[in-house]
Chains A and B, each alone.
Chain A
Amino acid sequence: MLKFVGRRTLYMVPTLLAISVVIFVVINLPPGDYVTSLVAELRGQGQVVSMERERGLRELYGLNRPLWEQYVAWVSDLLRGDLGRSFDLQQPVAEVIRERLPITVALAGVTLLFTWIVAFPIGVYAAVKQYSIGDYLATTFGFLGLAIPNFLLALLLMTVSVQYFGYVPEGLCSPEYCDASWNLGKVLDALKHWWLPVIVIGTAGTAGLIRILRANLLDELRKPYVVAARARGVPKRRLVARYPLRVAMNPFVSTVGWVLPLLLAGDVIVAQILSLPTLGRVFLTSLQQQDMYLAGSILMIYSLLTVIGTMISDLLLAWLDPRVRLGYQ
């Protein structure tokens, strides 16, 4: 097991390196560079920037060096934690990320939990009671959940919230509670704000998970070992819980790997509508303003989270499934 963990961790390094190359390419795709936009920004503010000064700036930022040297410089900056400066927020990117990463991860975590808690019983029920009304409802939800764009869902829920609860849950807390220490009021306030983003971001993942869990469990329930266990007198409830569910759990564990990017993507969109203090909004703004270095850094953070998520799910999978652990699959 230890060896497995070691191998899996080492495997992250080349993946992340390869991703960084892709991201660096993306950063350099648009015509013009950081200095072009910087100069445009300065000129926009009415400053006079000479060609000389522009060239000087380029030298200062190393933008006149060959691409691969720039790449190395960028990566080593990243490794040192120097992620550049955000135009929009007028502060270092590292600081922006440090401020926003915890809440982003917290939102993703809560949503993941929500996804599990909802999808698990529904998926199991739908499979065990195949073709029941509950199964049809679950299947319908599974289809709808994947078909609704999440910004649309956000808009709909916001409209509903305004109509029936009389408020738009913008942000993740009301100003009076944001810096307060935890008490009942703050918990209630959090509930008031978190339900919407959690539902919106989590719906697609929940729907996908229900479908996967149902299909897997149905597959497993048909396997000979289930009949064999029943023929040995294992009671039905225990039979489902112990035998096929253990295998059908695999996609659940794998979700950490594939739901995480989904959640982060959801965050990009929902953060915009609900003005959440998460990374998503910064990312979007940076893209809209073609602030590619900032966007690239955030993209790198997203990738890092995803790769870590995948690793965690692989490790959990190995821990759960002896076939993976012992290298038989």
Chain B
Amino acid sequence: MTESDALLEVNGLKTHFFTPDGVVRAVDGVDLTVPRARTVCIVGESGCGKSITSRSILRLIDPPGRIVDGEIVWRGGQQSGRTPGDGAAVDLVSLDPDGERIRRIRGNEISMIFQEPMASLSPMYTVGAQMIETIRLHRSMSKDEAREHATAMLARVGIPQPERRIDAYSFQLSGGMSQRVMIAMALACQPDLLIADEPTTALDVTTQARILDLIRELQADTHMSVLFITHDLGVVAELADDVVVMYLGTVVETGSVDDVFHDPKHPYTRALLRSIPTMGRGTRERLPSIRGMVPHPSQRPPGCPYHPRCDEAIAGRCDQEDPPVVALGPRRTARCVLYDPSGGPPGPSPASAGASGTAEAGMEDTP
């Protein structure tokens, strides 16, 4: 991948919360890349730091939280209609979180949609008022022009009677409609990147599928990139080009969707894949779930954070040293000692582990 292909590059991001009960290392060394015009999915169990990662990108972390380390390189904002001078690479971590530069990136170059669409809209203003406000924040348009643009956007995301709905309040809309409104608002300024933080989790299955279709369609039309956050591997399979698997504030594996699903390397990824319900299995049968519980990030185990739950953990190694991030190919990494080329105490060889993983995952992925 060439430099300019990467729209967003997160390197060694650490976001910690300094609470009275101790430091919560919610995000603790995350690397990820979002290429242009592609969809990257971050997947992981609840509480593993997906939301905090995405909020860190837009610098939306409030005290007691703080980005303590890392860089977030942004190469967007080259389109016409933006202020000249933009477009060069900028490290978002170096910006003042209340400053003008990041404010112009938010909602303009990078947009974000959230888990609870209804709660994400203020109940005190109409949908239109909030859309017009956003548009006029980033584009010099008159109120009427902005309103027209907002109506067009509402129509674009498939809202029937947009001229009427624009004057509705959030509490008058269904969850699916609200999420469509959020998407319309997010795309109103043609961002380069859309961050979607579990946008369908709160919706029912049918609505969820429609919203996913909409996002995919809009992505294909506008060539924007999408950073999609979910804990649902089914959604990943449907949407992603690339996958980032997170566990306890760290990235444990990255790769293209095919590689990760057909040849998962990291023991955690494999366990995750084993726990997806598939058509073949009876629904009554209990899914094999990952042994143990996700520890709270304030009680993160030393060494590999996954070792207390890992079946392949190597005593004396995994519980002591941080596993290295091993590059397994272009855009393919795993953070696990099993693939450490520098060796160490004997363990199952990377090749054999990889092979068995392939077989397993391959079987499971076949409906």
Task: Report A's interface with B, CB cutoff 8 A.
Answer: 223-225, 227-236, 242-243, 246-247, 320-323, 326, 328
Contact = CB atoms under 8 A, between A and B. Distances in A.
A229 B122 contact: yes
B181 to A, nearest CB: 11
B319 interface: no
B124 A246 contact: yes
A25 to B, nearest CB: 43
Nearest to B116: A224
Interface stretch (B99-107, B146-154, B295-303): B99-107
Given A227-B114, A322-B169, A328-B171, A232 B106 contact: yes
Contact of B121 (A228, A230, A233, A246): A228
A233 B103 contact: yes
B114 A228 contact: yes
A233 B134 contact: yes
A323 B123 contact: yes
Tell me if B's interface is mostly helix, strand, loop or mixed: mixed
Given A322-B169, A326-B169, A224 B120 contact: yes
Interface string B97-137: 01000011111100110111001111111100010011001
Nearest to B106: A233
Given A231-B60, A322-B123, A323-B123, A224 B106 contact: no
A228 B121 CA distance: 7
Contacts of B103: 233, 235
B97 to A, nearest CB: 9
B334 interface: no
A228 B182 contact: yes
B299 to A, nearest CB: 25
Contacts of B60: 227, 230-231
Nearest to A247: B124
Contacts of B119: 223-225
Contacts of A328: 169, 171-172
A235 to B, nearest CB: 6
Nearest to B115: A224
A236 B98 contact: yes
13 contacts: A228-B120, A228-B182, A229-B122, A230-B106, A233-B106, A233-B108, A233-B137, A233-B138, A246-B124, A247-B124, A321-B124, A322-B124, A322-B126
Contacts of A235: 103
B159 interface: no
Contacts of A234: 107, 133-134, 137
Contacts, number: 77
A232 B119 CA distance: 15
A231 B122 contact: no
A224 B104 CA distance: 20
Tell me if A's interface is mostly helix, strand, loop or mixed: helix
A232 B106 CA distance: 5
Q: How large is the interface on B (under 10, 10 to 19, 20 to 34, 35 or more residues)?
A: 20 to 34
A225 B120 contact: yes
Contacts of B112: 228, 231
Contacts of A321: 123-124
A225 B172 CA distance: 16
Contact of A231 (B107, B116, B172): B107
Contacts of A247: 123-124
Contacts of B123: 225, 247, 321-323
Given A231-B58, A232-B185, A233-B108, 6 more contacts: A228-B120, A231-B60, A231-B111, A232-B106, A246-B124, A323-B169
For A225, A321, A322, the residue with the greatest tally of chain B CB atoms inside 10 Å of its CB is A225
A262 to B, nearest CB: 27
Contacts of A230: 60, 106
A328 B123 CA distance: 11
Contacts of B172: 326, 328
Nearest to B186: A232
Nearest to A245: B124
A225 B122 contact: yes
A225 B130 CA distance: 11
Contacts of A229: 122, 130
A205 B115 CA distance: 39
A233 B107 contact: yes
A233 B114 CA distance: 15
Contacts of B111: 231-232
A114 B105 CA distance: 42
A320 to B, nearest CB: 8
Contacts of B107: 231-234
Contacts of A223: 119
A150 B246 CA distance: 59
Interface string B77-112: 000000000000000000000100001111110011
Nearest to A130: B63
A97 to B, nearest CB: 40
A157 B171 CA distance: 49
Contacts of A243: 122, 124
Contacts of A227: 55, 60, 114, 120
A230 B172 CA distance: 23
A31 to B, nearest CB: 55
Nearest to B108: A233
A187 B121 CA distance: 48
A132 to B, nearest CB: 11
B234 to A, nearest CB: 25
A129 B37 CA distance: 41
Contacts of A322: 123-124, 126, 169
A227 B103 CA distance: 13
A246 B106 CA distance: 23
Contacts of A323: 123, 169, 171
A240 to B, nearest CB: 12
A246 B130 CA distance: 14
A233 B104 CA distance: 6
Across the A-B interface, give the 3 residue pairs with the lowest CB-CB distance, nearest first: A232-B107, A233-B106, A228-B120
Nearest to A222: B62
